[in-house]
């Protein structure tokens, strides 16, 4: 036996159902707006990527020429350890030619995070040296180190005038991290 609702209870029931429908509408609206915002952000990202790719396509000949040049001229190595040893030997020989003195034993550096992340693009052999010499000679030598043809780059450098030098010409201390790049193991 169901009792009939009074007018006041009917109004209260209608208000509760209305409140529930209003809350459900707000929840659905929020979900819709969140999805719409995410979709608009994705569209903007894809449009940006499309413009970038169109730029690459417009410069395709340039990039293909660069890729051929890299493939033809970038050196390869079987062992990064051997490559590091050769780089170190080369630096030591040049240092002797320029009459530089090593302030600490040169260090063969382990493979860097950059090199690991870019393993599909290049492999890197790096060394760290600290040497001392005539400022003019050190600067001239540094200018010859970095070039695209050598696939060599100065990753870090610190020059400091040697204030305790007894020579007449200014002497400089040079901390240097030098890297040489090689083709990746699988080629390009």
Answer yes or no: do 53 and 84 share one domain: no
Answer yes or no: do 44 and 98 share one domain: no
Residue 3 belongs to some domain of the structure: no
Average pLDDT over residues 129-156: 88
Answer yes or no: do 96 and 150 share one domain: yes
Residue 48 belongs to some domain of the structure: yes
Print the SS3 string covering the chain.
CCCCCCHHHHHHHHHHHHHHHHHHHHHHHHHHHHHHHHHHHHHHHHHHHHHHHHHHHHCHHHHHHHHHHHHHHCCCCCCHHHHHHHHHHHHHHHHHHCCCEEEEEEEEECCCHHHHHCCCCCEEEEEEEEEEEEHHHHHHHHHHHCEHHHCEEEEEEEEEECCCCCCCCCEEEEEEEEEEEECCCCCC
Residue 63 belongs to some domain of the structure: no
For residue 156, what is the domain's CATH number?
A: 3.30.70.60
Give pLDDT tens digits for 48-93. 999 999 988 899 999 899 889 988 898 888 888 888 888 888 888 8
Tally the domains of the chain: 2
Residue 67 belongs to some domain of the structure: no
Res. 1: pLDDT tops 80 = no
Mean pLDDT score across all residues of the chain: 87
Answer yes or no: do 87 and 177 share one domain: yes
Domain interval for residue 175 = 80-182
Please, which pLDDT band fits residue 113 given cuts at 50, 70 and 90? low
Q: According to the model, what pLDDT value does residue 115 have?
A: 61
Q: According to the model, what pLDDT value does residue 184 have?
A: 83
Average pLDDT over residues 16-34: 96
């Amino acid at each position: 036996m169901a009792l009939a609702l009074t007018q006041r209870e009917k109004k209260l029931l209608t208000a509760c159902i209305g409140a529930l429908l209003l809350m459900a509408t707000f929840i659905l609206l929020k979900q819709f707006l969140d999805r719409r915002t995410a979709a608009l952000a994705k569209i903007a990202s894809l449009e940006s990527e499309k413009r970038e790719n169109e730029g690459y396509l417009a410069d395709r000949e340039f990039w293909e020429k660069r890729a051929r040049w890299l493939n033809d001229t970038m050196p390869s190595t079987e062992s990064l350890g051997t490559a590091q040893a050769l780089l170190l030997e080369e630096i030591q020989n040049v240092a002797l030619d320029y009459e530089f003195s090593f302030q600490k034993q040169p260090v063969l550096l382990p493979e860097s995070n950059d090199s690991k992340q870019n393993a599909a693009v290049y492999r890197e052999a790096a060394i760290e040296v600290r040497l001392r010499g005539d400022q003019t000679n050190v600067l001239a030598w540094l200018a010859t180190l970095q070039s695209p043809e050598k696939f060599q780059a100065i990753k870090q450098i610190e020059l400091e005038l040697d204030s305790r030098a007894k020579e007449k010409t200014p002497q400089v201390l040079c901390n240097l991290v030098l890297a040489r790049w090689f083709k990746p193991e699988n080629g390009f």
